[in-house]
């Protein structure tokens, strides 16, 4: 009976660590708890881009980030760490362009030129971000490539090299990508 209870507690802990439960809001949880793939309400108007270190960040009540449930720490070698994997999950531009228009309206931006924004995954696809979930997409001002892309690449390398966990990378980039490398001891 004691072995069964221990196994059950261990299994429950593993389920919680996979982050398949509640919606993640940046700043909530811990660096070992990934952002979630679970659906939850998201604010679609009155959003405001915030700035940290002279870089744009999304409004966490509008773009909290969401993860792809098909990506776990256990399978990173066959998913995010496999060359070309993001091409297999990237949504079509026809889908992201529609979201970009909605996002620009939701963020109340006066600049309506779609070319002035990148429809960005807050938690990048290479870090197991949800490809098509509006909670993970926002109209990032500026063009691509940008400073955030370099951070995404550095965190991806660290995850695939075993220096940090996938969950830590997901949580930290969703909370504040401008400080993610320093927060994780990479920069």
Residue numbers in the chain where pLDDT is lower than 50: 1-39
Alpha carbons 100 and 134: distance in angstroms, whole number: 10
Question: Is the alpha carbon torsion for 7, 8, 12, 15 positive or negative?
Answer: positive
Q: What is the pLDDT of residue 136?
A: 97
Residue numbers of the domain that contains 105: 2-183
Helix (H, G, I), strand (E, B) or coil at 139: strand
Residue matched to tokens 């909605």: 102
Return the pLDDT at 90. 96
Give the C-alpha separation, 39 to 54, whole Å: 31
- At residue 40, the pLDDT reads 52
Q: What is the pLDDT of residue 14?
A: 31
- The pLDDT, as a whole number, for residue 4 is 36
How far apart (Å, rounded) are the C-alpha atoms in residues 108 and 75? 39
pLDDT digits (tens, 9 = 90+) for 112-137: 889 899 999 999 999 999 999 999 99
* Residues 182, 172: Cα–Cα separation, whole Å: 10
- Mean pLDDT, rounded, of the chain: 81
Query: Global pTM?
Result: 0.78
CA distance 108 to 177: 22
Give the pair of three-digit tokens for residue 38.
Answer: 């679970």
pLDDT at 11: 32
Look at the chain and report how many structural domains it folds into.
1
Q: Give the pLDDT confidence score for residue 8 in this predicted structure.
A: 31
Could you check whether the bond before residue 145 is cis, i.e. omega within 30 degrees of 0?
A: yes
3-state class percentages of the chain: helix first, strand second, coil last, to nearest 5: 40, 10, 50
């Amino acid at each position: 009976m004691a072995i069964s209870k221990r196994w059950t507690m261990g299994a429950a802990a593993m389920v919680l660590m996979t982050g398949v439960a509640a919606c993640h809001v940046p700043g909530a949880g811990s660096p070992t708890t990934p952002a979630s793939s679970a659906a939850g309400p998201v604010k679609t108007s009155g959003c405001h881009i915030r700035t940290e270190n002279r870089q744009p960040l999304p409004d966490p009540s509008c773009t909290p980030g969401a993860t792809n449930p098909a990506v776990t720490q256990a399978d990173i070698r066959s998913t995010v760490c496999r060359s070309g994997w993001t091409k297999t999950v990237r949504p079509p531009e026809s889908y992201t362009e529609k979201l970009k228009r909605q996002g620009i309206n939701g963020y109340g931006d006066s600049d309506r030129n779609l070319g002035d924004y990148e429809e960005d995954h807050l938690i990048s696809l290479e870090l197991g971000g949800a490809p098509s979930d509006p909670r993970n997409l926002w109209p990032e001002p500026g063009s691509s490539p940008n400073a955030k892309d370099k951070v995404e690449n550095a965190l991806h390398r660290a995850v695939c090299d075993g220096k940090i966990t996938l969950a830590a990378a997901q949580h930290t980039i969703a909370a504040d990508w401008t400080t993610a490398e320093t927060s994780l001891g990479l920069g």
